[in-house]
Amino acid sequence: MSRVEQRLSALGLVLPQPFKPPPGVVLPFQVVQLFGNRALISGHGPNAGSYH
């Protein structure tokens, strides 16, 4: 277990499962783009009833 995973567990936090598009759906963009030691992530709207 990584240090981050240990800390999340100690705080009682659980991350949602990664987004998976339905079978046959191809996204016209990359969700995460890596540039050197940086990761650029695309934003998204609310999911699983989280509206705040």
Confidence (pLDDT) at 30: 78
Amino acid 49: pLDDT? 63
The chain-wide mean pLDDT, for the chain, equals 84
| Whole-prediction pTM | 0.42
pLDDT attached to residue 31:
79
- Using CB atoms within 10 Å of the CB of residue 8, give its burial: 0 to 12 exposed, 13 to 18 middle, 19+ buried: middle
**CB 30, CB 21: distance < 8 Å:** no
Query: What digits encode the pLDDT tens for the residues 1-52?
Result: 899 999 999 999 999 888 788 999 988 877 788 999 999 887 765 666 655 5
